[in-house]
Amino acid sequence: QVQLVESGGGSVQAGGSLNLSCVASTYTPGRTYMAWFRQAPGKEREGVAAIVSSVAPIYADSAKGRFTISRDIAKKTLFLQMANLKPEDTAVYYCAAENKWAITKPLSGGEYSYWGQGTQVTVSS
C-alpha cells in the first residue's frame, strides 16, 4: 500500500509557473514508478509525465518543453515543475504510483494502483 499526498496547486495567470509535489509513504528504487496525471472538467484523465527509473522522463505532447518531472528518492517525493502555463492546463492534477518490476505504458492510468487526492491547478487568461 502506498499513500500519496500532493501539494502545490493554485491559481496563476497564463504564462505563469507552479510547482507540484507528491510525497509517497513508501518508495522502492527500481520498483516504484510514479507519474502525474490530470483531469479537466468534462474530460478524461490524461497522463502528463512519468518517471521510470532506468530511462529518461516521459512527457505527454502537451507537457513537452513546459513541464519537468523529477524526484527525490531520499525524500520519497515526486515533483512537477510547470512553466508557461496555459488556460488549457487547468485541471485537477493527480500523483500516481505503482510497485512492479516493469511498466509498459507509463502515461496510462491503468498501470497505477495508488493515487493521491489531487490538487487543483487553475490558469486564467
Sign of CA dihedral 72, 30, 66, 5: negative
Any idea of the CA torsion for 86, 111, 6, 40, to the nearest 10 degrees?
Answer: 30
What is the grid cell recorded at 4? 500519496
pLDDT: which is higher, 62 or 52: 62
Reported as a single tens digit per residue, the pLDDT across 99-124 is 988 888 999 999 999 999 999 999 99
Reported as a single tens digit per residue, the pLDDT across 53-97 is 666 899 999 999 999 999 998 999 999 999 999 999 999 999 999
